[in-house]
Structure 1
Amino acid sequence: MASRAAAAIAVLALVCAAVHSSEGQLSPNFHAATCPDLERIVEFHVAETFRRDVGVAPALIRILFHDCFPQGCDASVLLKGAGSELNEIPNQTLRPVALDLIERIRAAVHRACGPTVSCADITVLATRDSLVKAGGPSFDVALGRRDGLAPASSALVGLLPAPFFDVPTLISSFANRSLDVADLVSLSGAHTFGVAHCPAFEDRFKPVFDTNPAIDGKFATALRNKCAGDNPAGTLTQNLDVRTPDVFDNKYYFDLIARQGLFKSDQGLIDHPTTKRMATRFSLNQGAFFEQFARSMTKMSNMDILTGTKGEIRNNCAVPNRRVQDIETAVAGDEGIAADM
């Protein structure tokens, strides 16, 4: 009896292992056999775009964060059309140059290898390569993600941290996605390059708002004067880092010490006792910042991924395959009707 039970358990374990294996796991070598030139292709197109527009690097990091945070790294933020995440307020300023780059890489990869690599994998690889181009650290990327079939809901997109969040709210927001204080402080350091639109930081210089945490007076005046000409609203932008706006370094934390953090969510990191020590350390030690940032990027890029038979490999990063098939079927039907006439 005992031997039968043991045998049954062994069989069950094998079945479970087989099911688990069929779902697939991430691996740095996932595409080594099916697309050996993948990383070379990605790097080439990233470098080509970066030469023309260094802003593509912060744009890609923002896309990756806005993709992963709501429902996982499934490239759902790239989908266009009704109900798209791109229509939600936090995503309306995602830069077309980065969205177009991801699709251009996808087309090049699929020409070389067939539809074997997901838009989700391409997004992570392109983000890593652009970060390095901007002077930042590389980070470990395991591959094998698959693309989501539908966009995240408005409620999930609404979970993205807002620039007006205070530190306790930020800590809670990140904790809900299994990200800790070290992830919060380091990933916020991505604001060491890139730009923001005036409506996103008007609470930092308008007296009708609560300007806590404090802001440097001259900096507030400069922001107020600049954004006075923001008509229509959202036209003008401001560098997130006033010191080295196009370079990925630790100068963002210098900004915070000087009370020149653009967002309330940024400036609070240097004041709150839970985050102050780490933010100060990163201002003094760029290597420590880079090391933690790389860890946090790897952690974030592996959040709630789809693998194995879940999701799909999109033939166009902006459109689920089913929608493409429906359009092709409809066109074929119309052609058939025309032929019968």
Structure 2
Amino acid sequence: MVTIAAAPPLIHAQDRLSRDFYSASCPNVESIVTTTMNRLSSENNVVPIGMLRLFAHDCFVEGCDASILLTGASTERAATDNLDFPQNPFDAMDELKKTVEESCPGVVSCADILAMATRDAVTFSGGPSWTVLKGRLDGTISRESRVAGHLPGADFDVEELESNFGALGLSLEDMVVLSGAHTIGFSHCHQFTSRLYGSSGSDPSLSPSFVSTLQKQCPQFGGNPTTVQAFDISTPFAFDNLYYKHLLTDEGLLVSDSTLTTRNDTLRLVNLFANSQEAFFSAFARSMVRLGSVGVKTGSGGEIRRVCSRVN
């Protein structure tokens, strides 16, 4: 049996946030966000996938401060790593903020709404729920130049991933379990075609049948650049543990997925989560609380935006 070790102290500790932060100022905020998020997710199944990715891309750059939502020249949204974001999660955040503002004007930050909506996105997709700690302020800085090198790369090996997550104060276990977010969602062909058409053939760490499937979806020449492939080819919209099962049959879409089976310590965790969805869900909930506490702005460190796409 594998024991999930305690994560090291975060760069910005969880004790700066609280579960009851809006109990007096906006007591119904949780139900408002959940009801709205469930409606938006029912209307468009891309919304939960996009919201989960949006939260991760926000927290890895500048911390969990909704800086990714700011628009304008040379903001985070203009960075290469964020150019292929669908518009749906941004539109959903606008709707969520508008709905919350109608009940509690000027009280709830976009960063907290994004954290709650992400939890609801996972739960809506069949995954676990968790208590979202609140009290984040919205950041006022969003720079394209600060994105490069901070997000986990599609071609990262396990050591690079460990360093990337570790820079946020997240543990090896957090790294493996948060990679499981790829149980829902899709990747564009350009993120993995080098594994299919190398000078010496396809990546030998991939199953030949999986390579054949991917080559049909993403041909070497003449393909549509907007074509996407599901990380989990079985249930791309369902939050489950099949992502880990596919890793064990050499069907990890990105290098950063497959690499989790190349070292004994990470492979033990992959096996644990592949064999127990309950263990994965429990660990994922804990790791999302830790991720959501990275780089939070409180006190005089930020503001509560009235509109998520621009500073006040």
With structure 2 as the length reference, what TM-score do the two structures score?
Answer: 0.91
Supply the distance in 1 between the matched residues of 2:98 and 2:223 (Cα, whole angstroms).
Answer: 36
CA contact (8 A) 2:202 2:211 kept: no
| 2:297 corresponds to which of 294, 298, 306 | 306
| 1:260 corresponds to which of 251, 264, 275 | 251
Q: Where do residues 224-263 of structure 1 align in structure 2 (5 Å cutoff)?
A: 224-228=215-219, 234-263=225-254
Residue 307 of structure 1: how far off its partner (Å)? 0.9
Tell me the number of residue pairs that the alignment of Structure 1 and Structure 2 aligns.
Answer: 298
- Which amino acid in the other structure matches residue 185 of structure 2? G
Deviations 1:218-274 (A, max 9, x none): 111221121128867531011110121110000001110111110011011122223
CA contact (8 A) 1:249 1:286 kept: yes
Structure 2 equivalent of residue 7 of structure 1? none
Supply the distance in 2 between the matched residues of 1:209 and 1:115 (Cα, whole angstroms).
Answer: 58
Structure 1 equivalent of residue 20 of structure 2? 29
Structure 2 equivalent of residue 145 of structure 1? 136
Residue 121 of structure 1: how far off its partner (Å)? 0.3
| 2:74 corresponds to which of 68, 73, 83 | 83
| 1:166 corresponds to which of 157, 170, 174 | 157
For the pair 1:74 / 2:65, whether they are aligned, the reply is yes
With structure 1 as the length reference, what TM-score do the two structures score?
Answer: 0.83
Supply the distance in 2 between the matched residues of 1:229 and 1:52 (Cα, whole angstroms).
Answer: 35
CA change 1:130–1:70 in 2 (3 A) is same
Choose 1 or 2 for highest CA Rg: 1
Q: CA RMSD in A?
A: 1.8
Structure 1 equivalent of residue 185 of structure 2? 194
Supply the distance in 2 between the matched residues of 1:128 and 1:110 (Cα, whole angstroms).
Answer: 20
Supply the distance in 2 between the matched residues of 1:114 and 1:289 (Cα, whole angstroms).
Answer: 37
Q: Which runs of 5+ in 2 are unaligned?
A: 1-14
CA contact (8 A) 1:213 1:267 kept: no
CA change 1:36–1:210 in 2 (3 A) is farther
Structure 2 equivalent of residue 127 of structure 1? 118
Moved more, 93-102 or 296-305: 93-102
Supply the distance in 1 between the matched residues of 2:21 and 2:111 (Cα, whole angstroms).
Answer: 14
- Structure 1 or 2: larger helix share? 1
Residue 50 of structure 1: how far off its partner (Å)? 1.1
Supply the distance in 2 between the matched residues of 1:159 and 1:201 (Cα, whole angstroms).
Answer: 20
Q: Where do residues 214-233 of structure 1 align in structure 2 (5 Å cutoff)?
A: 214-228=205-219
- Which amino acid in the other structure matches residue 311 of structure 1? G
CA change 1:33–1:200 in 2 (3 A) is same
CA contact (8 A) 1:199 1:233 kept: no
Moved more, 186-195 or 43-52: 43-52
Moved more, 55-64 or 211-220: 211-220
Deviations 1:89-139 (A, max 9, x none): 111122211111111111111111111000000000000011101010112
- Which amino acid in the other structure matches residue 163 of structure 2? S
Supply the distance in 2 between the matched residues of 1:269 and 1:231 (Cα, whole angstroms).
Answer: 32
Relative contact order higher in (CA < 8 Å, ≥ 6 apart): 2
Structure 2 equivalent of residue 327 of structure 1? none
CA contact (8 A) 1:58 1:193 kept: yes
CA change 1:272–1:32 in 2 (3 A) is same
Supply the distance in 1 between the matched residues of 2:228 and 2:234 (Cα, whole angstroms).
Answer: 16
Supply the distance in 1 between the matched residues of 2:33 and 2:252 (Cα, whole angstroms).
Answer: 33
SS at match of 1:196: strand
Supply the distance in 2 between the matched residues of 1:230 and 1:185 (Cα, whole angstroms).
Answer: 34
Residue 140 of structure 1: how far off its partner (Å)? 2.3
Deviations 1:165-220 (A, max 9, x none): 11111111111111111001000000001111111111221123885560011111
